[in-house]
């Protein structure tokens, strides 16, 4: 499923229960022309900027990182993290590629130390 298809499907699903999710109103709320959002949904233009994708994610109750990935983008904060240690993160991500979710979660679930 393309980025455009997914956005359209999610928006239409929300519109069934709430008419505020029309193309026109959603476009207004995220600050783009309705015609532009319509073209995005029909895959006639490339996905919008990171800022607009984040606004769409917020609007539709979706995960911004997932929408960015569907749009072929990596969020700017992740890019910044990778740029600082490109070799380490490239190796790490390649190694994690085939690991099951539970194994990755285990790596990610570090107990956080706070301020005390």
Partner 1 sequence: MIELLHDQLTFRFPEVHEKAFCHIEFQRTLRIPDDNQPYPLPPGLGQFPLSHVDDYADRLPASWRKHGGVFIPMYQSEALWINFSGDYHSGYPFAIKVAAGKINAVSGQPWSNELDPDSQDYVVIPGQPWLDGFNVTEDYIRQFIAMPLGEGFTAEEQITGEGEYGGLQIIVYPMKYEEYIERFEKPALDSPPLEEDLLLMDMPAFCRKSEGPPVEMGLAPGGLMRQKIVEDEFGLDVWDQENGLRCFIHLANSEQYRAITGHRPPHTPPSAKQYTDAGLPWFDYYDDQPALAGSVALGKLTSLAAMTIQKGKSLLGDNQPVEPKIIKQVRRGKTVRDGDF
Residues of the shown chain interacting with partner 1 in the complex, contacts defined by CB under 8 A: 106, 109-116
Residue 101 or 110: the one with the smaller Cβ distance to partner 1 is 110
Q: Select 61 or 72, whichever has its Cβ closest to partner 1.
A: 61
Dump the DSSP string for 5-57: HHHHHHHHHHHHH-GGGSHHHHHHHHTS-HHHHHHHHTTSS----HHHHHHHH
Q: Between 63 and 113, name the residue whose CB sits nearer to partner 1.
A: 113
**Closest by Cα among 49, 39, 47, 54 to 70:** 47
Q: How many CB atoms lie within 10 A of CB 115?
A: 3
Minimal distance, residue 113 CB to partner 1, in Å: 5
Q: Closest distance between partner 1 and the C-beta of residue 116, in Å? A: 5
Minimum distance of partner 1 from residue 95's CB (angstroms): 14
């Amino acid at each position: 499923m393309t980025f455009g298809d997914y956005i359209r499907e999610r928006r239409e699903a929300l519109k069934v229960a709430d008419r505020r999710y029309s193309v026109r109103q959603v476009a207004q709320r995220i600050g783009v022309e309705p015609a532009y959002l319509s073209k995005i949904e029909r895959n006639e233009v490339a996905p919008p900027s990171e800022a607009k994708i984040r606004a769409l994610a917020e609007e539709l109750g979706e995960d911004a990182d997932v929408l960015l990935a569907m749009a072929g983008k990596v969020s700017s904060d992740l890019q910044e993290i990778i740029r600082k240690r490109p070799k380490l993160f490239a190796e790490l991500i390649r190694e994690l590629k085939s690991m099951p979710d539970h194994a990755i979660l285990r790596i990610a679930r570090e107990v956080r130390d706070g301020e005390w």
